[in-house]
Amino acid sequence: MLATAFSPSALALLLLTALPSPAQALGINCRGSAICSQFFNGAATGHEAKVLADWIQGIEAEGYQPVAINSDRIYKNGEQIACYGRSSICAFLQKTPNGLSGGDIRKIAKYIPEHGCTICGSVPIDFPKTNDVNKGELTFNYVTKNCGNGIC
């Protein structure tokens, strides 16, 4: 039997480097403002994530047939892409180095409701290839001023 001895400090270092950082571990998630809760946001329906994802993909939902977002347009961080006006939940990018095209946004929007998110959530821009929101993320979250109802 081959035994390997590690000093306590070497073992601790080995364990720390083997674990993902908290930000990397977060990945795709259903987090957001406290106002993402139906308890705190009486206007929230609990369907915002699915509706926003549908609208971004050009799918009719809640009686609204969206204009398809331009595949070639580059959206910048913080720029509202689509909003569920009643509850002020909007889709926007965060932490992207240079923004993201409408075509790429369309591809990843569906993953937020598919992950089980009902109102708010985020998905890494390279998902499912990577699951690291630090490289950029599409976020559905509460905003104080929204563009109205539908594609912005």
Per-residue model confidence as pLDDT tens digits over 31-76? 999 999 888 888 899 999 999 999 999 999 988 898 889 999 999 9
The top-level CATH class assigned to 26-151 is alpha beta
Nearest-angstrom CA–CA distance, 82 and 110:
13
18 confidence band (pLDDT: 50, 70, 90): very low
Q: Are 131 and 115 in contact (CB under 8 A)?
A: no
HSE-CB of 133 using CA atoms within 13 angstroms: 19
Give ∠ CA 64-69-72 in degrees, rounded to 5: 175
Contacts of 114 (CB under 8 A, 6+ apart): none
Map out the domains of the chain as residue ranges. 26-151
